[in-house]
Structure 1
């Protein structure tokens, strides 16, 4: 028998481009590191080609696209340099997207477990969330440090789902099973790459048009222009309207 629509039971957020407008900061950090090598590029190119990647895959892709060899020592040095550059930029202050903090607080009041599944570094995510007073809100954070393959591979979302089930056993559709069903768990994403990763993990995806126009988020089950357009009620309605 085909299951009916699921009730909302948890939300997984992407981080960059969903909660905070940190993509321009990542771009600046990449430019600081790559410009001396003659590998800097415009922000438009960053958005078109590299924005959905974690740092590792972005650096590999940049070198591959320019036909430049990338040895292991240079790769590790650039990773460290980019992380240090980003932390210096973040220290100047980061502002969340309008409505992001309010949505997180509303979800918490509704008793819904929350997680983050991001291609950013874990220390960077926690540093920003701590500064925004939001670190306590997320019972699980899966970052680039925790996966072997970044988005669009589904591993980031698979691990976030596993972490939520581990920390909140009541989320399982049937506690007697392994709790692997993603029904009722909603993802909020801003890039086609991230949407692909979440859908490959079997999750219901809501796109927000912070980074790409809504028309380019067509792989999401539902998309809105801004995270400020979302609420607990609207997420519940969207999930209930979806035919599995």
Structure 2
């Protein structure tokens, strides 16, 4: 259950975005590169399996599960090899076809920055995030970016959101500490939703990657961010808490 809110307006002090599938429209090339990196090590993964059997896992967690199923044990070196290869493949892909930002992202980020702190908490590589943001109007608008390079524990573990909040509270100027229940997270996956909720945060899901019925653990679900305001997002979480 979402935490009770003390005020119907103005409660959000930190707006935290997942990156892939929330800010950047790049989930399809991510999955194709992931498939190829796995295939090069003898693993087969279909879209149906990834979005079905392994629903709720990010790429690292899914890879670790595949390795355990085949090898009967964890293999950190193989996990690192697949993860690195996938990053290389996606880097080449994004150089050829730069990921676009979703409609509505720029307007929401620019408006929200005036009233709350902004952050990114993503299981993607920092290099990939920086490249996708470079040259865009929102490149400098995030106070904190936490990627897989800073947090090795993947979603649905809450570690990445806990670290993001810690770093936000460490930034100058330092107003009263932001509490977890004053954070609003935008996610596109079951793993991300569970991660944010376990960190004690409110979460709204975007049905950009998975169909809305699979995102029902979120406090609200939207098709996307086009035309959406921070006030509307806050109101949705207020309604869900009643």
Q: Secondary structure at the match of 1:219?
A: coil
Alpha carbons 1:7, 1:240 under 8 Å: kept? no
Structure 1 distance, partners of 2:110, 2:5, is: 30
Q: Provide Cα deviations, 1:40-61, integer angstroms capped at 9, x if missing partner.
A: 3222322234575444323212
Structure richer in helix, relative to its length: 1
Unpaired segments ≥5 residues, structure 1 = 173-178
Q: 1:203 to 1:69 in 2, by over 3 A?
A: closer
Could you say which residue in structure 2 is the equivalent of 1:128? 132
CA apart distance, 1:8: 2.1
Query: Normalized against structure 2, the TM-score is what?
Result: 0.86
Question: Would the alpha carbon gap of residues 142 and 52 (structure 1) be closer, same or farther in structure 2, given more than 3 Å must change?
Answer: farther
How many angstroms apart in 2 are the aligned matches of 1:33 and 1:184? 39
Decide whether aligned partners of structure 1 residues 184 and 236 sit closer, same or farther in structure 2, where only a CA change above 3 A counts. same
Please give the alpha-carbon distance, in whole angstroms, between the structure 2 residues aligned to 1:158 and 1:184: 13
Closer, same or farther: CA 45–30 of 1 in aligned 2, 3 Å = same
Residues 1:216 and 1:52: Cα distance change in structure 2 (over 3 Å): closer
153, 160, 185: which is aligned to 1:156?
160
In structure 2, which of residues 37, 41, 50 is the aligned counterpart of residue 33 of structure 1? 37
CA change 1:194–1:3 in 2 (3 A) is: closer
Q: Bigger CA drift: 203-212 or 95-104? A: 95-104
Give the gaps of 5 or more residues in structure 2.
none
Q: Secondary structure at the match of 1:187?
A: strand
Instruction: Report deviation, 1:218.
Output: 1.4
Q: Tell me how far 1:196 sits from its aligned partner.
A: 0.7
Secondary structure of 2:140's match?
A: helix
Q: Secondary structure at the match of 1:136?
A: coil
Q: Distance in 1 between matches of 2:137 and 2:56?
A: 26
Residue of structure 2 in register with 1:101 after alignment:
106
Give the CA RMSD over aligned residues. Answer: 2.5
Say if 1:241 and 1:55 are closer, same or farther in 2 by CA, change over 3 A.
closer
In 2, the alpha carbon distance for the partners of 1:46 and 1:3 equals: 36
SS at match of 1:147: coil
- 2-structure distance, mates of 1:243, 1:231: 19
Aligned 8 A contact 1:55 1:120 in 2: no
Q: Separation in 1 of the partners of 2:68 and 2:34? A: 16
